[in-house]
Structures are given as C-alpha cells and as structure tokens.
Amino acid sequence: MTELYIKMGIAGILFGAWPLIMNRSGLESGVTTVILSTTTLVLVAPFALRSDFSSAAQHPWLIALAAGIVGGLGLLAFNSALAKASTERVGSLFVLMTIVQISVAALYHAWVNGGVSIKQGVGFAAAACAAFLLL
C-alpha cells in the first residue's frame, strides 16, 4: 500500500508543477493543449507498448472513450484559463480547480459507498471554506 501512496504523492507533485510551468510559456490554450498531449503521448507510448493488450478486447471501450472525451474537454478548459491567467493569479485559479476536482472525487466515493459520513461532510465544508479563503 505504501507504494501506491508514494506514486500518488509523486503524481500530485508533477500534476501540480506542470500547469505552473506551462503558464510561464505564454502560449495560447490550443497550442499548449497540443504540446502537452503530444509530449505526453510520446513519453507514455513506450510504456503502453510494453502492456498486455489482450485484455483490451474484453473491456468496454466506450467507457474509456467517454473518459478520454471528458478529460480532453477538461484539459481544453483548464489550458484556456491557464493561458489567460497572470502569473500572480494562476496559483489561486489552480487551487480552485483542485478543490473542485477533489470534491468530484469525494462525491464519487460517497456515491459508490452509499452516502456521506459526518467526517466527509465536514471535509466538504472545509474545502468550501478553503476555496473561499484562498481566492
């Protein structure tokens, strides 16, 4: 289990860093999205090619395609805001997006597990307060 936490921590650092770096590029949103997506494809393709694709035929591709569409639209919206945000403002906008993203994951967790506990309810309230105070 520790390995999973370490990988998620590394992912959090990297997902937190790339938008701040990309904002410094000064490029428009469509260009940054293409550069990010192409670079990501080139970087991850060698790992994907080493994967076992035999199980892919047994899984619902429509769900994966829907996830890709949702992710692509989210990336376009995110990069559109990122391209227009000043260096001084990008941090607070990124915090807002992160709080919304965490809330979506928490709501999904509550839905899958049949409800929200008091602790989770307090967490949602704390996230809303954090968003208000940080913006």
Task: Judge if 80 and 32 occupy the same domain.
Answer: yes
If asked whether residues 7 and 68 sit together in one domain, one would say yes
> CA 36 to CA 31: how far, in whole Å?
8
Distance CA 133, CA 37 (A): 33
Predicted confidence at residue 115, as pLDDT, reads 85
Both 4 and 32 in a single domain? yes
Domain identity same for 12 and 30: yes
CB-CB contact of 82 with 23 (8 Å): yes
Structural domain harbouring 94: 87-135
Q: How far is CA 43 from the centre of its chain?
A: 18
Output 7 or 61, whichever has higher pLDDT: 7
Residues 38 and 3 placed together within one structural domain of the fold: yes
> How many domains is the chain partitioned into structurally?
2
CA 47 to chain centre: 20
Amino acid 76: pLDDT: 93
Q: In whole angstroms, give the CA distance from residue 59 to residue 116.
A: 30
In this structure, are 91 and 33 located in the same domain? no
| Co-location of 17 and 65 in the same domain | yes
Kindly report each contact of residues 45-51 with a partner whose C-beta sits within 8 Å and lies 24 or more positions away, as own/partner.
none
5 and 44 within one domain: yes
Mean pLDDT of 11-35: 91
Q: What is the pLDDT of residues 54-65, one digit of tens each?
A: 777 777 888 888
Q: Can you tell me the mean pLDDT for 57-86?
A: 89
The token pair at 70 is 């949702």
pLDDT at 96 over 80: yes
Strands (E), the chain: none
Q: Are residues 80 and 91 in the same domain?
A: no
Pair 76, 92 in one domain: no
Do 9 and 64 have their domain in common?
Answer: yes
Residue 114, H or E segment = none
DSSP 18: H
9 and 44 in one domain? yes
Q: What share of the chain in percent tops pLDDT 90?
A: 36
